[in-house]
């Protein structure tokens, strides 16, 4: 069982930046992905970004492409999500997920509790 803990969320004004962090209780380089997803009230869960534990290949959701960067930390015990040019529509609960494939939420086996990101003026 992998436990994931997100941090770094909060409130920011439009145009601002945040960096989310996700630490994993254990780490397996198994060729599968670590991912970030988000869910706003009344909306379906949306894939934000994912990164392969094998070769570092990244994939981004269309709504955030060019504004976010996913990366593995130096010890490879977690994953970061840097977000720039944040807009009110980015407001959501953000979830870290492990042992999945690309941006398919159904493929992920482990999920964090989620962390709130609010963008408002």
What pLDDT digit, counting tens, does each position of 65-86 carry? 999 999 998 676 789 999 999 9
Question: What was the pLDDT predicted at 86?
Answer: 98
Task: State the burial class of residue 45 (Cβ atoms within 10 Å of its Cβ: 0-12, 13-18, 19+).
Answer: middle
Token pair for residue 19? 């960096």
Question: What was the pLDDT predicted at 77?
Answer: 75
Residues of the chain with pLDDT under 50: none
């Amino acid at each position: 069982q992998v436990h994931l803990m997100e941090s770094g969320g909060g409130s920011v004004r439009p145009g601002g930046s945040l960096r989310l962090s996700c630490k994993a209780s254990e780490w397996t380089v198994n060729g599968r992905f670590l991912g970030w997803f988000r869910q706003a009230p009344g909306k379906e869960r949306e894939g934000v970004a994912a990164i392969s534990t094998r070769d570092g290949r990244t994939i981004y959701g269309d709504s955030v492409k060019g504004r976010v960067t996913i990366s593995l930390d130096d010890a490879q015990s977690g994953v970061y999500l840097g977000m720039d040019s944040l807009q009110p529509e980015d407001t959501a609960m953000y979830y870290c997920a492990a042992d999945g494939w690309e941006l398919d939420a159904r493929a992920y086996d482990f999920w964090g509790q989620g962390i709130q990101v609010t963008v408002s003026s």
